[in-house]
Amino acid sequence: MPAMQVAIAIAIVLATIFAMEWVAWASHKYIMHGFGWGWHRDHHEPHDKTLEKNDLYALVGAAMSISMFALGSPMVMGADAWWPATWIGLGVLGYGIIYTLVHDGLVHQRYFKWVPKRGYAKRLVQAHKLHHATVGKEGGVSFGFVFARDPAKLKAELKAQREAGIAVVRDSAGA
């Protein structure tokens, strides 16, 4: 593969990974906290199960990635194969791996135990804990998974939502 094609492929993979954070944010806010709450609810409730219904969303992500690999495969699509789809599929897969390590691993400590004391990793954990500060699917902050806003600003948003009656915030949220 010529150097220019390699550079384009890498650019497509990286652009897809970044775009997937927006897809994940929108899906989390409007689907998981909307009509898809039935799958997502148990993620917001205490339990001692290894798997959650929420894990079904990982299968949706896997289906997106596999579909892109299929669209980019001449073996599947023949002459109609769309070459960028393979690299998009790889980007979706890459985001899924990052999501699994960051959200499930670091934030929820499903795979390893490490509590960051400073830096961006601490900010991610704080932002996601503030996301879990609301009771139910209404209101809330920090719907992204890899990019986290300033926790102080998120606390102020939660406080405003509570005061406006948009969200019920748990007492320990600090809002």
What whole-number distance in Å separates Cα of residue 63 and Cα of residue 149?
Answer: 29
What whole-number distance in Å separates Cα of residue 96 and Cα of residue 17?
Answer: 9
3-state secondary structure at position 52:
coil
Same-domain status, 108 and 125: no
3-state secondary structure at position 132:
coil
What whole-number distance in Å separates Cα of residue 103 and Cα of residue 124?
Answer: 9
Same-domain status, 88 and 137: no
Which residue positions in the chain have pLDDT lower than 70?
Answer: 171-175
Using the 3D structure, point to which of 114, 134, 162 is the last residue of a domain. Answer: 114
Q: What local confidence, expressed as pLDDT, does residue 48 receive?
A: 86
Same-domain status, 17 and 84: yes
- The two tokens of residue 36 are 């898809």
Same-domain status, 94 and 132: no
Same-domain status, 73 and 62: yes
Give bridge partners of residue 168 from the DSSP assignment. Answer: 135
- The two tokens of residue 30 are 């409007």
Measure Cα distances from 15 to 66, 136, 144 in Å: 18, 33, 17
Nearest to 103 by CA among 60, 136, 146, 135: 146
Q: What local confidence, expressed as pLDDT, does residue 173 receive?
A: 53
Q: What local confidence, expressed as pLDDT, does residue 54 receive?
A: 95
Do 21 and 145 contact (CB within 8 A), yes or no?
A: yes
Same-domain status, 71 and 87: yes
Q: What local confidence, expressed as pLDDT, does residue 172 receive?
A: 60
Query: Under 8 Å CB-to-CB from 18, ≥6 apart: which residues?
Result: none
Global pTM reads: 0.90
Range of the domain at 135: 117-175
Q: What local confidence, expressed as pLDDT, does residue 170 receive?
A: 81
| Structural domains counted in the chain | 2
Nearest to 23 by CA among 149, 146, 121: 146
pLDDT digits (tens, 9 = 90+) for 37-73: 999 999 999 888 889 999 999 999 999 999 999 999 9
Do 107 and 128 contact (CB within 8 A), yes or no?
A: yes
